[in-house]
Each structure stands twice: as structure tokens, then as C-alpha cells.
């Protein structure tokens, strides 16, 4: 038997009709009871919290992070599944992945239809997630949804309501779940895990500010005035803004604030191509480019760098490592265990 722990956090997969809309209310055992468990898998449930994921805070995510690590401290656990709302699933998954150094997998899944929907996707997604958690090794933190397995890094919610909700706009799935087994399409190198932050304390404020036509620095200034220690500037195109924004970024970085540039475009990397307040000037002002990370995960990168400890220089160095990391591949013999459960 493989032992998988399901950590329940709410979301649509735990939601029921409230008279004027859906809201998370079911506990983990109710979610688990809605579908079948793969043969050869023993499941235990941890009810962490029950919220719609649009309501999540950094405190929620840090509780989840520490709960995952506490769960994996038990050597009898073969894998972890986190049931999560889809709105911010990509953020929680990336945060968990940056601090995950265990060979055993952590699998996030959810649903696009509520728990009591006759044509719902909760049961299928949970079954696939349990199977992946029970059989995978050295895959890090992954997102399992609609029969596909995606690496946490780079995967985003790509559709508001469609069953195939998640994808990596700049990459391919790691694998697929079909006919009761997981098949892997490519190998994924693993970066060294960040040191786990100590529990307690007030997490740092990290904000996201989007640029647009006629954009100014009002929101960026307000973020800094509110005490933000990190800001993601969501640029147009390949990561562009205007000279006023570039000047404000320079003042922010001079004050020790971490600034990362992402883009509002759905796919492609940010790149220093343009001046006049473009990414060339933003980099000169001290901002770091987020590569292919979309805004939500770029924010998590800054948050993780700040949580990893050390002063401003250490945080900037950690952020650079997160954004620029090219980890060494594991030996093929150590990379995956994809045997069928029960064999």
C-alpha cells in the first residue's frame, strides 16, 4: 500500500450552492468521498482550512507550506495531495515548489465545477492526483488537472471556467494520467530548495502593479508608501513601461525594495529590447526580469526570496537565483518512478 496524505484547503472542489453563488464548505473527507481512490493507495486527510482561494493570504500559504513539511516528516508518507481553489493554485504551487527538496511528490489539484455537480470534474482530478502522488518520485511540486501533469513553475490558470484550466504557455506537460497510470513525457531538473522560513511573524508585503496606456506611478507610489518590500511591475509587451515608471523603480530599488518585471502578455519571456521606459531602462533602474514567470508567480518569487532570510543583498541574490536558475539534471535512474500502483 502507498500512503498519501490529502491536505484540504477549500476551493471549488469543496464548494456547494449557497443560494446566490458557490462557496467552499465541504471538508476533506467529503471531497474524498465524492470519487474513487486508486487501488493500492491508503489515504488520510488533514483539514487545514476551507476557503475560496481568492481569499487566500500569505499567512494561509505559509500554514500550508509548514503543514506539507510536517506531513513529509513522517517516513511512512509516500506523497501529498493538496486540494485547492483554482484562482490562486498556481501561486501556492510555486511557493511550495521553491521550498521543496524531498524526493516525494506534492500534487495540487482542484476542480472547475462544484462538488455536487452531476457532471463535475472533482472526482477525476482527485483520482489522478492521488495516483500521481502515490507513484511519482523526484518531480517536485506539480499540478494535476484534466489528465495532465504540469510542473508548478510556469503553469498558470489559462481559462476561467473550462475543464482544461491549466497549462504552461511556454512549455509542455510533464506527463499524462491515462488508463490508471501516469506516463511521463519529459524529465524535469530540480533546483536546490530554499531554507524553510520560521513559523510566525508578519510576512513581507509584496504587490503587483500593472502598466497600461496612460500609466503613471500612483499605484507604485502607494504600494511603496504602504511598506511593500517587493513589487512586480507588469509591463506591456516584452516588459515595458515609460520613463516615469522607470524613475520610480530606480527610487524603489535604491531604498532596498525588490522589483521584478513581468508582462501582461499570455506567453513569452520578458526581455531588455526597448528603451524609453522599456525593459532596458527598468533593468538599469535595478529591476530584475522575471523571464517566463507570469505576474502571480513573479510575486511569489520575490516573497520566497524575502522569506528565505538574510538582509536586502541576500534577498536580491536569492531572487536572482530563483529567476535565473538552471539546475543540474538528476541521473535518469533517479528521476522517476512510474510503476502502476499495486504492482
- In tens, the pLDDT along 113-147 reads 999 899 999 999 999 999 999 999 999 999 999 99
Residues 231 and 157 in one domain: no
Q: What is the pLDDT of residue 146?
A: 97
Residues 148 and 110 in one domain: yes
Contact present, 93 and 61 (Cβ < 8 Å):
no
Residues 160 and 251 in one domain: no
Residues 173 and 217 in one domain: no
More confident residue, 27 or 200: 27
Residue 12: active-site member: yes
The verdict on residue 343 lying in a domain is no
The verdict on residue 298 lying in a domain is yes
pLDDT digits (tens, 9 = 90+) for 157-183: 999 999 999 999 999 999 999 999 999
Residue 275: active-site member: no
Contact present, 327 and 341 (Cβ < 8 Å):
no
Q: What is the pLDDT of residue 331?
A: 40
Residues 95 and 178 in one domain: yes
The verdict on residue 201 lying in a domain is no
Whether the per-residue pLDDT at 229 is higher than 60: the answer is yes
Residues 112 and 243 in one domain: no
Residues 231 and 83 in one domain: no
Residues 123 and 154 in one domain: yes
Residues 11 and 157 in one domain: yes
Query: Would you place residue 329 in the very low, low, confident or very high pLDDT band (cuts 50, 70, 90)?
Result: very low
Please state the φ and ψ torsions of residue 80, each to the nearest 5 degrees: -125, 140
Residues 163 and 216 in one domain: no
pLDDT digits (tens, 9 = 90+) for 68-122: 999 999 999 999 999 999 999 999 999 999 999 999 999 999 999 999 899 999 9
Looking up residue 116, the CATH number of its domain turns out to be: 3.40.50.1170
Domain residues for the domain of 22 are 2-192
Number of domains in the chain: 2
| Closest of 74, 85, 9, 89 to residue 42, by C-alpha | 74
The verdict on residue 338 lying in a domain is no
Grid cell of 281 as nine digits? 531602462
Check 67, 83, 86, 292 and give the catalytic one.
86
Query: Which single residue is written with the C-alpha cell 499605484?
Result: 219
Check 9, 12, 236, 263 and give the catalytic one.
12
pLDDT digits (tens, 9 = 90+) for 239-273: 999 999 999 999 999 999 999 999 999 999 999 99
The verdict on residue 329 lying in a domain is no
Alpha-carbon gap, residue 327 to 321, rounded angstroms = 10
Alpha-carbon gap, residue 301 to 154, rounded angstroms = 12
Whether the per-residue pLDDT at 330 is higher than 60: the answer is no
Amino acid at each position: 500500500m502507498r500512503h498519501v496524505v490529502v491536505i484540504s484547503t477549500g476551493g471549488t472542489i469543496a464548494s456547494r450552492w449557497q443560494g446566490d453563488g458557490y462557496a467552499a464548505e465541504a471538508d476533506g473527507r467529503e471531497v474524498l468521498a465524492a470519487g474513487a481512490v486508486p487501488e493500492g493507495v491508503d489515504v488520510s486527510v488533514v483539514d487545514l482550512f476551507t476557503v475560496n482561494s481568492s481569499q487566500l493570504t500569505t499567512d494561509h500559504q505559509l500554514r500550508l507550506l509548514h503543514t506539507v513539511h510536517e506531513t513529509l516528516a513522517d517516513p511512512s508518507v509516500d506523497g501529498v495531495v493538496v486540494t485547492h481553489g483554482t484562482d490562486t493554485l498556481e501561486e501556492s504551487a510555486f511557493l511550495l515548489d521553491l521550498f521543496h527538496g524531498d524526493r516525494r511528490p506534492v500534487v495540487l489539484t482542484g476542480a472547475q465545477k462544484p462538488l455536487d455537480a452531476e457532471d463535475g470534474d472533482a472526482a477525476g482530478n482527485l483520482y489522478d492526483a492521488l495516483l500521481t502522488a502515490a507513484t511519482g518520485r523526484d518531480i517536485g511540486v506539480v499540478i494535476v488537472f484534466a489528465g495532465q501533469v504540469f510542473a508548478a513553475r510556469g503553469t498558470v490558470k489559462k481559462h476561467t471556467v473550462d475543464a482544461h484550466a491549466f497549462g504552461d504557455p511556454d512549455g509542455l506537460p510533464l506527463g499524462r494520467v491515462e488508463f490508471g497510470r501516469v506516463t511521463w513525457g519529459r524529465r524535469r531538473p530540480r533546483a536546490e530548495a530554499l531554507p524553510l522560513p520560521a513559523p510566525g511573524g508578519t510576512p513581507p508585503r509584496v504587490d503587483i502593479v500593472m502598466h497600461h496606456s496612460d500609466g503613471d506611478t500612483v499605484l507604485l507610489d502607494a504600494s511603496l508608501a504602504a511598506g511593500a518590500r517587493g513589487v512586480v511591475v507588469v509591463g506591456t509587451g516584452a516588459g515595458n513601461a515609460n520613463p516615469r515608471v522607470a524613475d520610480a523603480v530606480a527610487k524603489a530599488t535604491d531604498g532596498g525594495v525588490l522589483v521584478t518585471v513581468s508582462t501582461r502578455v499570455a506567453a513569452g519571456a520578458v526581455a531588455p529590447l526597448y528603451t524609453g521606459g522599456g525593459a532596458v531602462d527598468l533593468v538599469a533602474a535595478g529591476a530584475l526580469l522575471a523571464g517566463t514567470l507570469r505576474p502571480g508567480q513573479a510575486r511569489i518569487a520575490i516573497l520566497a526570496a524575502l522569506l528565505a532570510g538574510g538582509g536586502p543583498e541576500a534577498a536580491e541574490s536569492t531572487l536572482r537565483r530563483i529567476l535565473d536558475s538552471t539546475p543540474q539534471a538528476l541521473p535518469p535512474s533517479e528521476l522517476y518512478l512510474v510503476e502502476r500502483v499495486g504492482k
